[in-house]
Structure 1
Amino acid sequence: MNKHTDSYYAHSVGAGSDYPQLNDHIECDVCVVGAGFSGLSSALHLAEKGFKVVVLEGSKVGFGATGRNGGQIVNSYSRDVDVIESRYPPEQAKALCNMIFEGGDIIRGLVDKYQIDCDLKHGGLFTALNNKQLKGLAEHKAGWERYGNDQLTMLSQDELEQQVGTRAYVGGLLDMRGGHIHPLKLALGEAAAFVSLGGQIFEQSAVTEIQKGTNPVAHTANGSVKAKYLVLAGNAYLGGLAPNISNKAIPCGTQVITTEPLSEQQLAEILPSDYCVEDCNYLLDYFRLTADKRLLFGGGVVYGARDPDNVEALIRPKMEKVFPQLKGIGIDYAWTGNFLLTYSRMPQFGSFDDNIYYLQGYSGHGVTCTHLAGKLLAEALTGHAERFDAFASLKHPTFPGGRHFQIPFTAIGAAYYNLRDKLAI
């Protein structure tokens, strides 16, 4: 039986809920493959519209990136306003940019509507390590303000140090439409909300085969689900179930550690604001406090989603560079999780065979964009596909190097941009 990875999140949710394994042959309107944020958002939004929905999960609800990420509500996509407006036709760019804050709004709306206890906190900081990055944050602020975010404040180094107890940064940008949550608690709360609307979730029910046709069928080891529509929402954990979409992106691993609980003095020194933080490097670091006053710190990317031998050894030096006052602090949890990276860094939404939809490739911005994805999918299946199609019509080039060399080529490219960050060029 597949269990959650040995993370802080899994240890802090308690017993949680167990959903049954599929041992029957059933029918529904929509079958969703994957009980991460993409699948749960899709299922919940569809159930709210009256669809009969079944979710099949190969492991546990929130098993993948959903239950392992940094828990930060970061607006926009992995490519922001400046790139979108320069890369795509004006009408399409406007449609995409008009949705950049919606994912966070959806999360806050679901938390409020279904009274989900997920340690929600408001406020997120972007921090600059050099003047080039600080200039970029000012441009970032201007772009977001053009699309309606009026909750942004530039901070000087001294102002930032009052929020984050370090001199590692030269300044930053505060976004009060950002924030942070306990992602696994959010996923479990969304799953419970979906079930309260009549939805069905089956865990330990990996889909082994998709049978295409007028009514596609998802087969598991012990059962099957026949539906009008099938939604593939496995992301980096989809495996080889649909090679036509899995070859469009590559899985990558990110690493996270969580300290022992901190003292009141340590809390006041490092993060008195209780905002979440991410820096502006290409290979960025991110951190925040948990509800029980630990520092959760993540960063780095392993291309190809290999699990490092020692996560703490990779992340502790990064944490202690930002917060020298925590040198030698105890680390209670260390884990890794996979996300799906696209070459364009834009998410991949689409369909094939008229009735099989897919949502994937958030490239590190999955917490918010997955929630948007589910809402757009529900719109599309009720005859309002305009916003879904703004994403579905994006062209997604494949990574250079082919099947054997795309991962090393991508790692070389990342090393180049990492060097540019260090040299501030």
Structure 2
Amino acid sequence: MPDYPAGEHVASWYAATANPAPERPALAGEVECDVCVVGAGFTGISAALHLAERGLSVVVLEGARVGFGASGRNGGQIVNSYSRDMDVIEAKYGAQTARALGDMAFEGNRIIRERVATYAIDCDLRDGNLFAACNRRQLAGLREHKALWERYGYRELELLEGEGVKREVNSDRYVGALVDHGGGHLHPLNLVLGQAAALESLGGRIFEQSAVREVIHGEPVTLRTAGGRVRAERVVMAGNAYLRGVLPEIEGRSMPCGTQIITTEPLGEARARALIPNGLAVEDCNYLLDYYRLTRDNRLLYGGGVNYGGEDPADITAVIRPKMLATFPGLADVKVDHAWSGTFLMTLNRLPQFGVVNGNVYYAQGYSGHGVTCTHLAGKLIAEVIHGQGERFDAFAGIPHLPFPGGRLLRVPLSALGAWYYSTRDRLGL
């Protein structure tokens, strides 16, 4: 894992409104446990909590703070399924794989809601999200999307067309929309902080500022940090885009990508509700999509774009504010109070990577923009496979993953070229 010079959360609206949380100590000396989890984001904390509930002793090593990475910075949208939908999965990997993944496509959402209810986590959970079509081609795709999800038994979708869209989002950009009444949105940093507290209430231990510098394979596995060592029968690698140089076996078939978010000053309830009357989270259907929602204090949180390679732009507000104004021109007088970026991990096929190294080091990563729900599913599947119930974990682990064309040198410019092509098609409605 890389070093974090400051080791603190970025200056986001989430960090500014986070629930109180303790600063956990760095690892010092030697510790033994049943399972050591590397990374205190959604995947790691979800896995650790499921394992602790099953009675295992769990230690979590985090290079910075709980929720430091994408888990504490993302758009906060509870979007069902995966970054590749079931028809693509079936065409590429067969009906059996599609059925196995389809049966789990809505489970991450249910896990989040169960966690919030069981542990009384205060994270601004609200119901409903919306996929917005910018042209007729995208609207046709939403009709197909609705029919596909209904094939897998999901009945929470409502198709809107024309002026009906303005019932939910007051913008002239869209010709149609698909409302997922079973989706939702929340404060992601408070969600992961709440689950971390739940883990500790069950005896789990979390060490912050404890980046893993070396993994020594064996039985048990030894993990070395700057201040100590952990010996564990099983290890879960959950560093995602921040896992670099520790486990090379899983790093060559994914690429870190950056996305940027701003929040406005408080708009007041009337002005906020005039934008999104029923408070849904929104994302459009473009290849490089925009996503936005209202916060609990009536700000507009607006994100968009992908920066391949994960480098931050010099001026985040200058990148995102024009996107916001293209959607809501009436906000030209509104100030931006927070601007931040985050890094997620993308795979070539846009499906997450699951697997096992040397028989006792498990990993899940590469959610490709659908991390809020899929990470929570991944944590449960990791707990299952460690307890000898590997069928569902293996359904993901069996999906082949290829490296990006051009290798590490050319993957960024080639991906950017592909994004330019698909973005041009979006603009032309092709």
Asked if these proteins are the same fold (TM beyond 0.5), I'd say yes
- 1:275 offset after TM fit, Å? 0.5
Q: Which residue of 1 aligns with 2:166?
A: 161
2:378 counterpart SS class: helix
CA distance in 2, matches of 1:268, 1:252: 32
Q: Which residue of 2 aligns with 1:287?
A: 292
Deviations 1:46-75 (A, max 9, x none): 111111110000000000000000000000
One-letter amino acid matched to 1:329? V
Matches within 5 A, 1:200-211: 200-211=205-216
CA distance in 1, matches of 2:355, 2:333: 47
2:130 counterpart SS class: strand
2:213 counterpart SS class: strand
Is residue 2 from structure 1 mapped to residue 16 from structure 2 by the alignment? no
CA distance in 2, matches of 1:354, 1:264: 54
One-letter amino acid matched to 2:368? S
8 Å CA contact 1:157–1:167 kept in 2: the answer is: no
One-letter amino acid matched to 2:100? A
CA distance in 2, matches of 1:291, 1:170: 28
**CA RMSD, Structure 1 to Structure 2 (Å):** 0.8
- 1:14 offset after TM fit, Å? 4.9
CA distance in 1, matches of 2:355, 2:79: 23
- 1:15 offset after TM fit, Å? 4.1
2:104 counterpart SS class: coil
CA distance in 1, matches of 2:142, 2:96: 25
Is residue 213 from structure 1 mapped to residue 190 from structure 2 by the alignment? no
CA distance in 2, matches of 1:169, 1:403: 37
Matches within 5 A, 1:225-264: 225-264=230-269
Is residue 304 from structure 1 mapped to residue 309 from structure 2 by the alignment? yes
1:408 to 407, 413, 419: 413
Q: Which residue of 2 aligns with 1:380?
A: 385
2:92 to 81, 87, 92: 87
Q: Deviating runs (4+, > 2 A) in structure 1?
A: 14-17
8 Å CA contact 1:255–1:336 kept in 2: the answer is: yes
Q: Which residue of 2 aligns with 1:354?
A: 359
Q: Which residue of 2 aligns with 1:137?
A: 142
CA distance in 2, matches of 1:265, 1:26: 54
CA distance in 2, matches of 1:186, 1:226: 29
> Where does structure 2 lack aligned partners over 5 or more consecutive residues?
1-5
CA distance in 2, matches of 1:197, 1:141: 40
8 Å CA contact 1:287–1:296 kept in 2: the answer is: yes
CA distance in 2, matches of 1:162, 1:89: 39
- 1:25 offset after TM fit, Å? 0.2
- 1:328 offset after TM fit, Å? 2.8
8 Å CA contact 2:273–2:279 kept in 1: the answer is: no
One-letter amino acid matched to 2:83? S
One-letter amino acid matched to 2:422? Y
**% identity of equivalent residues:** 57
CA distance in 2, matches of 1:268, 1:378: 41
2:150 counterpart SS class: helix
CA distance in 1, matches of 2:27, 2:415: 39
CA distance in 2, matches of 1:328, 1:340: 35
CA distance in 2, matches of 1:311, 1:239: 25
1:128 to 125, 128, 133: 133
1:343 to 331, 348, 357: 348
- 1:264 offset after TM fit, Å? 2.8
